[in-house]
Structure 1
Amino acid sequence: MAEQSNNSQELPERPKEEQEGEKGPSKSALKKAAKEKEKAEKAAKRQAEEAAKKAADDANDVSKEDYGDLPMLGSQPYVPHADSAKRISLTELAQQNEDVSGKEVTFRAIVENARNQAAKLSFVVFRQGISTIQGVVAASDKLSRQMVKFAGSIPSESVVLVHALVEKPKEAVKSTTIQHLEVHVKQLFVIAKAEPQLPMQVEDAERPLPGEGEEQVENEGRPIVTLNTRLNNRVIDLRGKHNHAIFTIKDGVTLLFQEYLRSKGFIGANTPRLLGAPSEGGASVFEVSYFATKAFLAQSPQLYKQMLIAARFEKVMEVGPIFRAENSNTARHLTEFTGLDLEMAFEEDYHEVVTLLEELMLFIFNGLRTRYKLETDLVRSIYHVEDFALPAAGSVPRLTFAEGIQMLRDDGVEIGDFDDLSTPDEKRLGALVLKKYGSDFYVLDQYPLAIRPFYTMPSAETQAKYDASKPNDGYSNSYDFFMRGQEIMSGAQRIHDAGFLEKRMKEHVTPVDPKSEGLRDYVNAFRYGCPPHAGGGIGLERIVMLWLGLPNVRLASLFPRDPGRLAP
């Protein structure tokens, strides 16, 4: 018993607070609860006061019907608005000749940026396409401070409906494309609100990217947005004004291409992109599933263009996608691009076609200079490049391949007579041509036969010196066109005689079987009488890239495809 008594005396004593807790909450706990209650009461009172003030302000808001978020379009029955006929584009507004001061306008636009300058003043930059204009929201007896605050807090990239008066600013607005006018907002409604946090800012995407081999440098402390980031967020990237200009120009090249050729009697064609067998040899084709068998994506419309010539369509053109399964991860290659193709029968010599192609390209270049000057200047203000040097009509530098090789040798380049030109060689030759002829555009004619496709016509001199043991020696009636030292078009006179075509197919550097599934119908097309013909295929994205001085061809493709990119 004594041992048990000693053990009980060694037990630790419970804390005093814990002992008191048995009778009720401690004093400190009660004090804490009282403070929290008081804090909650103050917060509730403050919220009630703010709500009452807001209700009072809303009741006294003279502009409460003139701003706010509109219901989602389509969620309510459509009722035409009285101002529907008055809506105007910013481009139309800027181009009006008469004094438009005080004119009422209504337009839909994007908020490029918005800021509250003061309690009674906000500025909003509105954008449509590449046009921007400054909007002023100023408090008055007819426009409330609440509306001013609302305007300055609209997230960038939100879609809005604006009712305003046009005025002339005291000084030119240098931050917008429309500098001689501004709009004083009277009503402002949000049609579609953008999230406040975007994956990237449009203004960050409007800064230049480095060229191939160059390092990205920070621009005035702004974030560095890489090409990969831009392409991963392409929808936001494409909102940049320069991108709208790029793709307006790209559409313009297509328009000018078709306009000129239609004036020369060409007819538009649409040839297949799904083939039952590879048609031009080589491994650079994409294979796809096709029901119970397989198919291949066309590398070009070349064979079909020629078959149309045999079918008595003497002048054909086509604009369509081209697929190349080449693992080329360079700044100038895509696995899917847009081809501007043409083929035509000629009378006596293939240079008739070369001349037409030269005239076509000059028509496109001069059209871009005049019709698309605004867009060209906008993009070149970001990617600073020399103006494209053009020769006079009829004076396009046209060199033979041998002459081009000699120019390179004279400049210290070691290169063989029949070696294909590397990209550095092409760029170097382009610089030499510019220096000698004052032109960024030139033609290289009479390429070596061995580096051209099997359907290329050997030159007359080559045929005269034919050696069966060396069937691919010599030159051909083929040509490439260049811009700023880079190839934009490859073309040639095609073989139009079935027997000679079969012979060349068998003895080509990479022989193909004229009786194979993918080529049999093509060869047969020439057995029934086909006129001599020539043509070419132009890379649309290459023209846009080189005209504007873009550092990467992907910038000239809306949603580019390359060996590592299939999305978005």
Structure 2
Amino acid sequence: MAEDQPPASLPSRPKELAEEAAAPSKNALKKAAKDKEKAEKAAKRKAAEDAQRKESEASDISSDDYGHVPLVGLPSSTPAEVPWVRLSEIASEFTDTTPMDESGGPHVIFQAVAENARVQSAKLAFLVFRQGQDTIQAVVAASDTLSRQMVKFAGSMSAESVVLVHGIVKKPKELVKSTSISHLEVHVKKLYIISEAEVLPMQLADAERALPVEGEEAQEDDSRPIVTLSTRLNNRTIDLAAKQNRAIFTIKDGVVALFSEYLRNLGFIGIQSPKLLGASSEGGSNVFEVKYFERKAYLAQSPQLYKQMLIAAGWDRVFEVNPVFRAENSNTARHLTEFTGLDLEMAFDRNYHEVVELLEGLMLYIFNGLRTKYKDATETVRKIYHVEEFKLPEAGKVPRISFAEGIQMLREDGLEIGDFEDLSTPDEKRLGALVLKKYNSDFYVLDQFPLAIRPFYTMPSASHPYFSSKETGSSAPATVPDPNTGYSNSYDFFMRGQEILSGAQRIHSAAFLQQRMREAVTPVDPNSDGLRDYVNAFKYGCPRHGGGGIGLERIVMLWLGLPNIRLASAFPRDPGRLLP
């Protein structure tokens, strides 16, 4: 047997080839050299920049005079002699300061919003600061005591950032036409950012442009598209910073103040009625249902029933400023699902026109107060929404026309309409135009509405068949063939042809109230949970009384000529909007 042979060996690679395979390619070497060179250059550049920055910081004489305020604030190191001021105080208190090209001037400190910043050069920047409706120009100028770095910081500030300013009040060379404070400016000495604004989703300048009236096309301005109402409401906190919006809500607050002031001076007492109800109280379906622990509850449509119950309790004059909730799927320019009601109720002596006269006096007091106390705010809005000034009648001469007379005026103007037909919004506006032409007044009262279109608690007119058969006293009148015919002791108030107030004499007899509930166009059960306590309140004696409910946002919208009622609500609610 042959001996085993060792396995044949594989041929070995030449030494030169092995070394060549292990060595990097020429391209790889070149790339590595370039990368190294780039890295070295970048490191040198960064070192140079760091050195330059350190040198710059070391030579920045204003390094402590600008920057960002820590969240907890700056140390309390302000000299006692330096006052903290409002811009409005600067405008009124420092008129005798020195011109800008002279030294000296009062040193002040204030917080404001940086509305905009404009760099003029490496040594000069201009800013506009805003507080509420007040704006003032500010100058940041490099000098022996203020660095270029601070000028650069000021000029790069984002719009709408909240800042803390130390400055000297000076007189500019000429009036500054772009700010509300035109005769003064602030020369900034220290500037700190309290809250830095991010890039805005819409520009404030766009929020200060007029929205088109419903049904009309937007008017383009400088080829810039109109920012829609929806976009403005989706970014409402930015939108509300616009100067006309601040003015709108100043006026809205003024209406509430004037309303309360007038009524308190006449012996009315303010009340707060509940807004969560255990049952729908006024018989309608336009209520919002909410969960209340393990049962249902409803948001109040008005304080009407509670106002009347307080009259029955002997509170002869009451009023309330209250939220009102209406589940009406009305997507118009004048409807909201939540609005503010100005409500009042009062006992009267002779007849319900005592209530009408008081309401007329109240509205004229509000209008005249807006004309005088809130003139500037009104003019701010009317510079954007160019509406004619609201025409007012003299005291005691408010046009008061009957519903029948109003129908006749519309017929004479060519409208076909029935004697007892409710007025549509276009009908109301048409009648308002006719009243304006005849009486030269944007404000008027329409009296004696048809009973069929008013709530069940409305007192029928003295001419109604209820009262022609017998003297009723405090009992219920006799049953009549058509109980919902004829007129009622009810009225609406109008501004610019649109209704702002609805009111009436109320039924104060429990027996008659129960009868009207059952006989109304839309009957309701006087023994239901939502109405039983209300009816019982009148069983123990109640004076004759009447009142009204006013839509606050409607007054503001129509006084200013706004195109949409949502502009008169800070965060409006309508069928499609529950946010923000």
Relative to the length of structure 1, the TM-score reads 0.94
Cα pair 1:86 1:105 within 8 Å, conserved: yes
Cα pair 1:115 1:124 within 8 Å, conserved: yes
* Paired position in structure 2 for 1:311: 313
Partner SS for 1:528? coil
**1: CA distance, partners of 2:93 / 2:404:** 56
**1: CA distance, partners of 2:344 / 2:72:** 45
* Paired position in structure 2 for 1:9: none
* Paired position in structure 2 for 1:56: 55
The answer to whether the aligner puts 1:29 opposite 2:33 as a matched pair is no
Q: Offset of 1:46 from its aligned partner? A: 1.9
1:511-547, Cα deviation, whole Å (9 max, x unpaired): 1111111111111111111000000000001111111
Q: Offset of 1:256 from its aligned partner? A: 0.5
Q: Offset of 1:217 from its aligned partner? A: 3.8
The answer to whether the aligner puts 1:501 opposite 2:510 as a matched pair is no
Q: Could you tell me which of 252, 255, 280 is aligned with 1:253?
A: 255
**1: CA distance, partners of 2:560 / 2:355:** 27
Q: Offset of 1:394 from its aligned partner? A: 0.9
Q: Which amino acid aligns with 2:504?
A: A
Q: Could you tell me which of 183, 193, 196 is aligned with 1:180?
A: 183
**1: CA distance, partners of 2:86 / 2:381:** 22
1:19-53, Cα deviation, whole Å (9 max, x unpaired): 99834333233223322322232222222212211
Partner SS for 1:141? coil
1:419-468, Cα deviation, whole Å (9 max, x unpaired): 10000011111111111111111110000000000000001011445772
Q: Structure 2 vs 1, CA of residues 332 and 471 (structure 1 numbering), >3 Å: closer, same or farther?
A: same
**1: CA distance, partners of 2:406 / 2:82:** 61
Cα pair 1:205 1:230 within 8 Å, conserved: yes
Q: Offset of 1:104 from its aligned partner? A: 1.4
5 Å-filtered alignment, 1:262-281, equals 262-281=264-283
Cα pair 2:557 2:563 within 8 Å, conserved: yes
The answer to whether the aligner puts 1:91 opposite 2:88 as a matched pair is yes
Cα pair 1:343 1:536 within 8 Å, conserved: yes
Q: Offset of 1:83 from its aligned partner? A: 5.2
Partner SS for 1:561? coil
Q: Which amino acid aligns with 1:164?
A: G
Cα pair 1:126 1:134 within 8 Å, conserved: yes
**2: CA distance, partners of 1:520 / 1:563:** 31
**2: CA distance, partners of 1:25 / 1:476:** 105
Cα pair 1:169 1:180 within 8 Å, conserved: yes
The answer to whether the aligner puts 1:368 opposite 2:370 as a matched pair is yes
Identity %: 70
1:107-160, Cα deviation, whole Å (9 max, x unpaired): 100000012111110011000001110001111111111110010011111111
Cα pair 1:73 1:191 within 8 Å, conserved: no
Partner SS for 1:285? coil
Partner SS for 2:344? strand
The answer to whether the aligner puts 1:491 opposite 2:509 as a matched pair is no
1:448-492, Cα deviation, whole Å (9 max, x unpaired): 000000000001011445772211100000000011111100000
Q: Which amino acid aligns with 2:151?
A: V
**1: CA distance, partners of 2:25 / 2:217:** 68
Unaligned runs of 5+ in 2: 1-16, 99-104, 470-478
Q: Structure 2 vs 1, CA of residues 314 and 488 (structure 1 numbering), >3 Å: closer, same or farther?
A: same
**1: CA distance, partners of 2:29 / 2:210:** 64
5 Å-filtered alignment, 1:34-183, equals 34-73=33-72, 79=76, 81-82=78-79, 86-96=83-93, 98-101=95-98, 102-183=105-186
**2: CA distance, partners of 1:247 / 1:402:** 38
The answer to whether the aligner puts 1:535 opposite 2:537 as a matched pair is no
Q: Could you tell me which of 409, 420, 423 is aligned with 1:421?
A: 423
Q: Which amino acid aligns with 2:247?
A: A
Partner SS for 1:522? helix
The answer to whether the aligner puts 1:544 opposite 2:556 as a matched pair is yes
Q: Which amino acid aligns with 1:264?
A: L
**2: CA distance, partners of 1:347 / 1:383:** 44
Q: Structure 2 vs 1, CA of residues 535 and 140 (structure 1 numbering), >3 Å: closer, same or farther?
A: same
Q: Which amino acid aligns with 2:532?
A: R
Q: Offset of 1:223 from its aligned partner? A: 4.6
5 Å-filtered alignment, 1:281-296, equals 281-296=283-298
Q: Which amino acid aligns with 2:166?
A: H
* Paired position in structure 1 for 2:473: none
The answer to whether the aligner puts 1:212 opposite 2:214 as a matched pair is yes
* Paired position in structure 1 for 2:526: 514
* Paired position in structure 1 for 2:3: none
Q: CA RMSD in A?
A: 1.8
* Paired position in structure 1 for 2:230: 228
Cα pair 1:20 1:26 within 8 Å, conserved: no
Cα pair 1:488 1:539 within 8 Å, conserved: yes
Q: Which structure is larger by alpha-carbon Rg, 1 or 2?
A: 2
**2: CA distance, partners of 1:461 / 1:86:** 70
Q: Structure 2 vs 1, CA of residues 223 and 119 (structure 1 numbering), >3 Å: closer, same or farther?
A: farther
**1: CA distance, partners of 2:47 / 2:227:** 46
Q: Which amino acid aligns with 2:577?
A: R
**2: CA distance, partners of 1:474 / 1:414:** 20
Cα pair 2:392 2:441 within 8 Å, conserved: yes
Cα pair 2:211 2:226 within 8 Å, conserved: no
